[in-house]
Amino acid sequence: MNLAWKELRRRPGRFAVAGVILTLIAILLMFLGGLLDGLLGNSTGAYRVQEADRFVFSASSKDSLVRSRIDADTRSAVQDAVGDGVVGGIGSVQLGGRLEGRDVRDLVAVVLFGYEVAPKGLPSEVPGPGEVYADVALRSEGVDEGTEIQLGPDRTPVTVIGFLEDSQYNGQGTLWGSLDTWQTVLEANRPGETLGEGTVQALVVRDGPTQATSAAIDAATGGATSTLTITEAIEALPGVSQQRATFNQIIGVTVVIAIVVVALFFALLTVERTGLYGVLKAVGASSRSLFAGVVLQAVVVTLVAAALGAAGALVLDAVIPAGAIPFVAQPSRLISSVVYLLVAAVIGCAFSLRRVLKVDPAAAIGGSQ
Amino acid sequence: MTTTLPPVSTDLALQMQSVRKTYQVGDDEVVALDDATLRVASDEIVALVGPSGSGKTTLCSIAGGILSATSGSVVVAGNDISSYSAKQLTEFRRESVGFVFQSVNLVPFLTARENLLVVDELGPRTGAKGKARADQLLEELGLSDRANNLPGQLSGGQKQRVAIGRALMNEPSLVLFDEPTSALDSKLGDQVVHLIREEMKSRGTAAIIVTHDDRITHYADRTVHIVDGRIEA
């Protein structure tokens, strides 16, 4: 091990090629992961920001918020089922927003949510009529506190009274107002989608001490609802699971490439060192200690590459303008990428194990026959 | 079988008895060493001479625990290594024998001093004691001022002296030299063999010098000839 460490310190050039390739792979891995997190974050923020445990959709909606309709009777049944839990209505409408001073065709795509149970970061009291909180992503569009946004073809005005974070939905900025504000905007701009009195698109449920299961809630409504946990509801969002699967496959292939790079590089190094290993074995080195040295070198080279990759990802995160690319460098993603690379390094090294075991100390003194 | 026995000694560094080594090459059995019996006293220097392919390196490898004999017994410093496992042989090589190889084979990225300390690091480290021994050996070998030089900065003779120092680091009972002068010119070769003799005799350590160069055999106490795997008188 000491020998391997000294070689790393004194002959860093020997590991430069593998280091550069692994650094590029690390950057790619972290960039892909950051893109996935950014895309998913921008698509699912409105669900993740809920201070609730479950979403209740109508059974016929296929767990789509836009298609779902929950009437007052169903809501009452849900409330009975959850007992001391909190139930709140939620509705959404996607519209173009006009901002003062911008061209009439220069619309900002927004999703207005009406809510009763306050999302994370908002006061428990819902805003007054015509007042909304805005997602911080809309700041990049010039939205600030006091900004009036005219929504939809009716140009229904709403005024921003504050901000909340990480609540984007389908890649769009969100506005959060009362159910009344939402219904007013909906009736004015989408008269065909107007809902009856007391009807909302879905319910959010915050479990009480005696939490009801999703199945119990659906049973209480006679099968009129489809209740999902927040995590399940996020996965049910269109494209989320597909995006995750696609990116994870690309990340998986990248990790396999890292394994191949480490395997090939250290296999070549091991071939180069056959004579040296023979001598070391002859003077008493065990195969185990020699292989441990190979693993140490692979792990150190990979750690350096991963650190450079992480630094690159953080720099990218800092320099990419807000809203330009859905990229976010989350610590958890960076750490998991480092772990993947380290696992790849160890697996890659394993291909050299047989070669190290096969080195015959007799070769050192020419006695191998 | 013919062999030249050493002077009477109750303290043998090496005792090989009827050692046979064969290899299977396809369907054929190749005999590398045949019924070899050799005894080396604890402070004796033996020159092992023979043509290429005669089995001298095989004999040396078996004596040093690098190869295992097909049959026969091998006792080094009182330890019968004939039935040692690979792990036991590794430990044996680390603790009981020293090797000086034909092509020197120092670790290229370690200094002369560190090349000696490698032997200490491979086993249970002795720390300051090992470092002191390395410094002492380098001084004895006239390499104190080269202790921090890498092998690439040393001459051929200096490298060979470092290799000798490495072989002596574990205070072995037996040191095996595999054609130690083959890469050196005759003058330097003569100096190195002279140095080997001095070092071995001053320590009372046994040595086998594998060579096909009869000119250096006069430094040995005894010359053993080997032809076609058989030791001759």
Cα distances (Å, whole numbers) of residue A3 to A11, A65, B21, B120: 12, 62, 34, 12
Contacts of B219 (CB under 8 A, 6+ apart): B45, B47, B193, B194, B196, B197, B209
Phi, psi (degrees; rounded to nearest 5) at A286: -90, 155
- What pLDDT does residue A365 have? 64
Distance CA(A111)–CA(A170), nearest Å, equals 9
| Nearest beta carbon to residue B93 from set A2, A276, A283 | A283
Q: What is the pLDDT of residues A189-230, one digit of tens each?
A: 988 887 888 899 999 999 877 777 889 999 999 999 999 999
- Residue A7 touches chain B, beta carbons under 8 Å: yes
Distances (CA, A) of A136 to A61, A102, A164, B46, B218: 30, 19, 6, 87, 92
Q: How far is CA B174 from the centre of its chain?
A: 7
Beta bridge partners of A226: A57
Q: Is residue B123 part of a domain?
A: yes
pLDDT at residue A131 above 50?
yes
Interface membership of A275 toward B (CB under 8 Å): yes
- The answer on pLDDT for A369 being more than 50 is no
The CATH number given to whatever domain includes residue B217 is 3.40.50.300
Is B18 within a domain? no
Q: Does B54 fall in a domain?
A: yes
Task: Please report the pLDDT score of residue B104 as a whole number.
Answer: 62
DSSP-based three-state secondary structure for B206:
strand
Residue B106 counted as domain residue: yes
Summarised one tens digit per residue, pLDDT across range A101-125 is 888 788 999 999 999 999 999 999 9
Other beta carbons less than 10 A from residue A321's beta carbon: 7
d(CA B211, CA B138): 25
Q: What is the mean pLDDT of chain A?
A: 91
* Domain chopping of chain A, boundaries: 2-44+240-365, 47-236
Collect the ranges in chain B with pLDDT lower than 70. Answer: 1-10, 104, 214-215, 233
**Residue pLDDT, tens place only, A266-285:** 999 888 888 888 889 988 89
- CA dist B24 to A180, A316, B30, B35, B231, Å? 92, 62, 6, 18, 22
**What ranges in chain A are assigned the alpha helix state H?**
2-10, 16-48, 72-82, 179-189, 214-220, 230-236, 240-272, 274-282, 287-319, 331-358
Residue A30: helix, strand or coil by DSSP?
helix
* B102, B109, B111, best to mutate vs chain A, most A CBs in 10 Å: B109
In a domain, B222, yes or no: yes
Identify the pLDDT of residue B126: 73
By CA distance, what is A359's nearest residue in B? B66
**pLDDT on residue A129:** 95
How many domains does the structure of chain B reveal?
A: 1
Q: What is the mean pLDDT of residues A349-359?
A: 88
Q: Which of A92-96, A329-333, A353-357 has the lowest mean pLDDT?
A: A353-357
Neighbours of A80 (CB within 10 A): 13
Express as a percent the part of chain A with pLDDT over 90: 73
Structural tokens at position A168: 């984007």
- Domain assignment of residue B174, given as a range: 44-70+83-232
Q: Calculate the alpha carbon distances from B54 to A119, A342, B223, B227, B228 in Å.
A: 88, 49, 15, 5, 5
Cβ within 8 Å of residue A365, ≥6 positions away: A282, B57, B60, B61, B64, B66, B99, B101, B102, B176, B178
Task: Identify whether B4 is part of a domain.
Answer: no
For an interface test with B, which of A280, A358, A365 has the most B Cβ atoms less than 10 Å from its Cβ? A365
pLDDT for residue A366 is more than 80? no
- Give pTM, 2 decimals: 0.80
Mean pLDDT for the stretch of residues A32-49: 93
Q: Residue B20 in contact with residue B71, Cβ under 8 Å? A: yes
A290 → chain B, closest CA residue: B122
Tell me whether residue B76 is in a domain.
Answer: no
Residue A345: predicted pLDDT: 92
Angle, in degrees to the nearest 10, between helices A240-272 and A274-282: 70
Cβ-based neighbour number of residue A75 at 10 Å: 20
- CA distance to partner chain A, nearest, from residue B57 (Å): 6
- β-bridge partners, B97: B174
- Output the six-digit token pair for A95: 């519209």
The C-alpha atoms of residue B40 and residue B59 are separated, in whole angstroms, by 13
Residue B19 inside a domain? The answer is no
Q: Which residue of A has its CA nearest to B31?
A: A369
Q: Do residues A112 and A93 lie in contact, with contact meaning Cβ atoms separated by under 8 Å? A: yes
Are the C-beta atoms of residues A247 and A36 closer than 8 Å to each other? Answer: yes
- State whether A369 and B32 contact (CB < 8 Å): yes
Residue labelled with tokens 């915050």: A206
Q: Are A30 and A333 in contact (CB under 8 A)?
A: yes
Work out the minimum CA distance from B143 to partner chain A, whole angstroms: 21
pLDDT, residue A364, reads: 65
Position B184 scores a pLDDT of 75
| Across A173-197, average pLDDT | 91
